[in-house]
A and B are shown apart, each in its own frame.
Chain A
Amino acid sequence: MINKILSRNNSVLWIIALASIIVPFFMPNRYFQDIIVMTFLWAGLACSWNLYSGYCNRLSIGHAAYLGIGAYSSTLLYINFGISPWIGMLVGGAISAVAALIIGGSTLRLKGTFFVLSTIAFAEILKVMTITSKDITEGALGVFIPYEPSFMNMIWASKIPYAFLTWIYMLVALFICVKMEKSKLGYSLIAVGENQEAAENLGVNSSRTMLIAFVMSAVLTSFGGTIYAQYIMFIEPTSVMSLMNSVNFILLAITGGMGTAFGPMVGSFILTPISNLLRGYLSSVSGLHTFVLGMILIVILLFRPDGILPQLKLFFNGLIKKSKVRKGV
């Protein structure tokens, strides 16, 4: 039933995704534009996470590692050799692909909890390595990106180009998810997620399927990492590769709906502004915004474990039914 509803009416969600780019133009100031940029960016990131963990139903709580690889690769190339972050983004993607191949190759076969823990462990190891190799990464001090606005440097004075960049990033991630859902890879991945043995018996090469999706997810996340670094213009291991960042991927995807193409976007559209506004307006109470996010997550898990998207789709279905003559559910 739910699946039937989910497979319909992506058109409304596509319209929302495409139309969302007009929002930053109506924002009164840079503060609100910043929230929009972060919303797009996190929508894309959560979508990338969802590509493996959501469809395959195996949690990665270490995606901050790929975010970090993307951020550090482009930034270090740019700072040290003046290589444009656009190229750095591709290099970061390639490094992430190799890392995901090695990590995925050795841990994807692990079952349940073991896999989850191994993702945390890799993210932590990478964070410690980044902190300790001071000669390359400046260690815990972090790296500043000098402010030299130009298209080649992926740095702009206004927030609007960033909004476009993150919006395109989000659309690309969405497009890949939607395409994958209807491809052989997508079907295999969902089958493996539901029941690995059964899928294997039906001839699905589960380890290959998982590895491909895992690498795709890591590369997309890494692209987001580069954009993140170019936007914030300061990266530091403990904040970029924190467990909290890794959890944020999950938080957004779960709230919207794990394993659905548009779920992570819906999650980010709802939660990223809430989180930023809470942080902005109630900053005197430290910890409040994370507390609220945690409570939202608990409530969603207990009462709507499929996320908000199914509800939203039912709502859209109702609207469409009213406007059209007949459309059976």
Chain B
Amino acid sequence: MEQILQVFISGIFSGGIYALVSVGLALIFGIIGLVNFAHGEFLMLSMYFAYWMYNIIGLDPYQSMLINLAIMAIIGYLTYKIVMERVLEANHSIQIILTLALSMVLQNLALMLWKADYRSIRIDMTTDTTYVGFLTLSTPRIVAFVIAIGASVLLYLFLQKTYTGAAMRAVAQNGKAAQLMGINLKRTYGLAFTIGISLVGLAGLLLSPIYPAFPLVGSNFSTLAFIVVVIGGLTSIPGSIMGGLLIGVVESFAGYFAGPAYQQAAYFLLFILVLIFKPNGLFGKS
């Protein structure tokens, strides 16, 4: 029983990060209608930035958080301006292939620049553990979980409570109508993409003390985020948070009971079942 609880809690903690990765994806999909297959590659970039910040300047990931957020926001905005804005009107397939190509380019750029070595950040906190009752928890995971959920909830509040957030939701509902009401469509899209990329950047930063950075690190998280987003109902932010936690738990249990090889298979299976039987997502409105 204690072990089961431990497995459950560790699933929830990984789920927090998955939620943060997915929330950015859901935002971009919900508002721009753009499926970003390169999402994980931005996570990878952010992990590398955190690594270099630590190794060259000596700032640990928590200290370099704001700089990292700013860099990722700039990268996100530039990506939107240079690449994404040109295909807003294009066919759905073209958009998907474009982001796939972007992911190829970023992955291999990283491979060319930084080689395939695993680079991990070793700060004192990396190996710290916190004891809660009989549970043993890794401290960076707790920090990551708290910040990840906090950021996701902040995003939700931003969309619900602020004017800009309301404008974004209006654009998501009906771009043309929103434009007629005086909302700048392209600027709103740009903002949504920038926020989405910043969030996945934050997730990468939080992961960096736990997980090594390497050129292909993003691809696992990309597919994972897609699954979370579909399970969460595609565009819903709370759905993505719940979906992230659920996938974390499923993965954790599959790893515990069936072995690590089956972790991926387990959530893919869950994903197919959801697609077939509840295509609007477990937490989405029908």
Q: Which residues of A contact B (CB under 8 A)?
A: 57-59, 61, 106-107, 110, 112-114, 116-118, 120-122, 124-125, 128-129, 131-132, 243, 247, 250-251, 254, 258, 285-288, 290-291, 293-295, 297-298, 301-302, 305
Chain A residues near B234: list those with CB within 8 A: 113
Of the stretches B51-59, B68-76, B106-114, B164-172, the one at the interface is: B106-114
- Contact call B90/A305, Cβ cutoff below 8 A: yes
Cβ 8 A contact of B100, one of A61, A118, A291:
A61
* B105 on the A face (CB < 8 A): yes
Answer whether A286 and B100 are a contact pair too, CB < 8 Å, given A117-B226, A124-B268.
no
Chain B residue with Cβ nearest A297: B101
| 11 extra A-B contacts, CB within 8 A, seeds A124-B268, A128-B264, A290-B108 | A61-B96, A106-B276, A117-B271, A117-B275, A118-B275, A121-B227, A125-B265, A251-B101, A297-B97, A297-B101, A301-B98
Chain B residues near A305: list those with CB within 8 A: 90-91, 94
Distance to closest chain A CB from B48 (angstroms): 14
- Contact call A294/B102, Cβ cutoff below 8 A: yes
Most buried by B among A110, A132, A258, A301: A301
Distance to closest chain B CB from A183 (angstroms): 23
Distance to closest chain B CB from A324 (angstroms): 35
* B230 on the A face (CB < 8 A): yes
* B188 on the A face (CB < 8 A): no
- Contact call B264/A124, Cβ cutoff below 8 A: yes
Distance to closest chain A CB from B27 (angstroms): 15
* B279 on the A face (CB < 8 A): yes
- Contact call A301/B87, Cβ cutoff below 8 A: yes
Distance to closest chain B CB from A40 (angstroms): 24
- Contact call A113/B35, Cβ cutoff below 8 A: yes
- Contact call A132/B101, Cβ cutoff below 8 A: no
- Contact call B265/A128, Cβ cutoff below 8 A: yes
* B180 on the A face (CB < 8 A): no
Chain A residues near B125: list those with CB within 8 A: none
Interface size class of B (residues with CB under 8 A): 35 or more
Chain A residue with Cβ nearest B264: A128
Distance to closest chain B CB from A130 (angstroms): 11
Distance to closest chain A CB from B283 (angstroms): 16
Chain A residues near B223: list those with CB within 8 A: 120, 124
CA of A137 to CA of B244, assembled, Å: 33
- Contact call A128/B261, Cβ cutoff below 8 A: yes
- Contact call B271/A121, Cβ cutoff below 8 A: yes
- Contact call A286/B112, Cβ cutoff below 8 A: yes
CA of A287 to CA of B215, assembled, Å: 10
Chain B residues near A301: list those with CB within 8 A: 87, 94, 97-98, 101
Interface positions of B from 201 to 233, Cβ below 8 Å from A: 215, 219, 223, 226-227, 230
Chain B residues near A58: list those with CB within 8 A: 93
CA of A110 to CA of B279, assembled, Å: 8
Distance to closest chain A CB from B99 (angstroms): 10
Distance to closest chain B CB from A23 (angstroms): 28
- Contact call A114/B279, Cβ cutoff below 8 A: yes
Chain B residues near A61: list those with CB within 8 A: 96, 100
Q: Which residues of B contact A (CB under 8 A)?
A: 29, 35, 83, 86-87, 90-94, 96-98, 100-105, 107-112, 115-116, 215, 219, 223, 226-227, 230, 234, 261-262, 264-265, 268-269, 271-272, 275-276, 279
- Sample of 19 A–B contacts (CB below 8 Å): A110-B275, A112-B92, A113-B35, A113-B92, A116-B96, A286-B112, A286-B115, A286-B116, A287-B111, A290-B104, A290-B108, A291-B105, A291-B112, A293-B104, A294-B102, A295-B105, A298-B98, A302-B86, A305-B90
Chain B residue with Cβ nearest A140: B261
- Contact call B261/A294, Cβ cutoff below 8 A: no
Most buried by B among A113, A120, A250: A113
CA of A118 to CA of B116, assembled, Å: 29
Chain B residues near A118: list those with CB within 8 A: 271-272, 275
Chain B residue with Cβ nearest A58: B93
- Contact call B264/A287, Cβ cutoff below 8 A: no
Chain A residues near B272: list those with CB within 8 A: 106-107, 118, 121-122, 125
CA of A120 to CA of B40, assembled, Å: 15
Chain B residue with Cβ nearest A288: B112
Chain B residue with Cβ nearest A286: B111
Cβ 8 A contact of A294, one of B108, B226, B265:
B108
- Contact call B105/A117, Cβ cutoff below 8 A: no
Answer whether A285 and B94 are a contact pair too, CB < 8 Å, given A243-B219, A294-B102.
no
CA of A258 to CA of B92, assembled, Å: 13
Chain A residues near B96: list those with CB within 8 A: 59, 61, 113, 116
Cβ 8 A contact of A129, one of B86, B115, B265:
B265
CA of A124 to CA of B264, assembled, Å: 8
Distance to closest chain A CB from B39 (angstroms): 13
Chain B residues near A286: list those with CB within 8 A: 111-112, 115-116
Answer whether A250 and B100 are a contact pair too, CB < 8 Å, given A118-B275, A287-B108, A301-B94.
yes
